[in-house]
Amino acid sequence: MADYAALKKRVRELAEKPWDAKAIRDWFSKLVSDGIPKKTVLKDELLARKVEVLERVQRKAEECEFLSHS
């Protein structure tokens, strides 16, 4: 079951975050024009950096969500 208190807290944090809109738009434009970059990641390396990778994916998802509302 979802932790609504934690979700509300995270929404407030994101709403107050100082977004770098230009950098996010530049990254997204490059993604649109060039496509998703291909990376070869070794399974062991990926597992060793799992937390870091998941945090980066979360951050990029939040940036995309920011773009959809700006």
Q: Specify the number of domains making up the chain.
A: 1
pLDDT at position 52 = 95
Residue 11, domain member (yes or no) = no
Residue 4, domain member (yes or no) = no
- Identity at 11, one-letter amino acid code: V
Residue 60, domain member (yes or no) = yes
Token representation of residue 63: 């940036």
> Quick one: which H or E segment has residue 60?
helix 50-69
Residue 10, domain member (yes or no) = no
* Alpha carbon distances (Å) from 48 to 38, 54, 57, 61: 20, 12, 16, 22
0.85 surpassed by pTM: no
pLDDT at position 59 = 94
pLDDT tens-digit profile, the chain (70 residues): 679 999 899 989 998 999 999 999 999 999 999 999 888 878 998 899 999 999 999 999 999 999 888 7
pLDDT at position 44 = 92
Residue 59 sits in which domain range? 20-69
